[in-house]
Amino acid sequence: MTQMAIVTDLNRCVGCLGCTVACKVVNDVPIGKYWTKVLRQGPFPREQGGNFPDIDMYFLPLSCQHCATPACVTVCPTGASTKADDGTVQIDKEKCIGCGACVSACPYNCRYVNEDSGVAEKCTLCTQQTSEGGLPQCVTQCGGMARWYGDLDEGIDGFRGARGETLRDFVEEFTDDDLYRLPDSGNDPQGVFILRRMAWQDGEVKM
């Protein structure tokens, strides 16, 4: 089995939106739509009634989670949305009829129907680059070295970053207790987030 995914070190993300801009340029994402969007989580008081500087706040880059059991694939009436051999969720634009069923099914609001082409679009993990041995553009352009790409089935320690380092060799030490995923509504999201010394906000996350 293979499950390609992105691991994001939230302690390193500075909310610069470099990933969002790079993604839009490389993938020709329409104005007002996003394949990757950076959300601010917080500020939240660390204790009841707490005030600055005793607060937690972090930035959360959000894109398609390339779920293990994606509802968007299940509801697609034409088979346009599929789970590829590398574990990513892809859209065959020749089969897509733009019905929007997949858009409604995504619990993370990571899909939209392109008004010009009439087909559904979302993050592909830059398959046009990764199929040639490259990295997703959001990983390549991450100035904070917060984003890492690899195969979850081989473990996240060997995920690669923009400069060729592996995740475990580069980032600050972390444990399994520092690893999080988005709330699971039955889709089994595959994106992984590292967050240390702050409380993960496990509420409803929307684009």
* Residue 205 maps to a domain: no
Average of per-residue pLDDT values in the chain: 94
Torsion of CA 17, 20, 26, 31, to 10 degrees: -120
- Domain assignment present for 166: yes
The whole-angstrom separation of Cα 69 and Cα 22 is: 28
In tens, the pLDDT along 69-107 reads 999 999 999 999 999 999 999 999 999 999 999 999 999
Query: Nearest CA to 203 among 99, 23, 60, 38?
Result: 60
DSSP strand pairing (55-63 vs 36-45): antiparallel
> Is the pLDDT assigned to residue 2 strictly greater than 50?
yes
Q: In the predicted model, what is the mean pLDDT of residues 171-188? A: 95
Quote the number of domains for the chain. 1
126 Cβ contact partners less than 8 Å away, ≥ 6 residues apart: 26, 27, 134, 135, 136, 137, 138
Helix (H) or strand (E) holding 38: strand 36-45
Q: Which residues of 47-70 are buried (b: 16+ CB within 10 A; e: fewer)?
A: eeeeeeeeebebbbbbbbbbbbeb
Distance CA 127, CA 176 (A): 29
Higher pLDDT, 190 or 1: 190
Q: What is the predicted pLDDT for the residue at 207? A: 47
Contact 145, 45 (CB under 8 A): no
Residue 109 has pLDDT above 50, yes or no: yes
Tell me the pLDDT band of 203, cut-offs 50, 70 and 90. low
Q: pLDDT > 70: what percent of the chain?
A: 96
| Tokens coding 63 | 């894109």
Q: Is 205 a residue whose pLDDT tops 60?
A: no
Q: Say if 200 falls within a structural domain.
A: no
Exposure of 131 in the CB half-sphere (CA atoms within 13 A) = 8
- Is 67 a domain residue? yes
Give domain status of residue 165, yes or no: yes
Residue 187 maps to a domain:
yes
Q: What's the CATH code of the domain at 142?
A: 3.30.70.20
Residue 204 covered by a domain: no
Assign residue 8 a region (left: φ > 0; alpha: ψ between -120 and 50; beta: otherwise).
beta
pLDDT tens per residue across span 15-68: 999 999 999 999 999 999 999 999 999 988 887 777 777 888 999 999 999 999
Q: Which domain holds residue 16?
A: 4-194
| Greatest Cα-to-Cα distance within the chain, rounded to the nearest angstrom | 55
Q: What percent of the chain has pLDDT over 90?
A: 88
Q: Are 194 and 178 spatial neighbours (Cβ–Cβ below 8 Å)?
A: yes
For the cut 90, the answer to whether the pLDDT of residue 152 exceeds it is yes
128 lies in some domain: yes
The identity of residue 76, as a single letter, is C
Measure CA of the first residue to CA of the last residue in the chain; give whole Å: 29
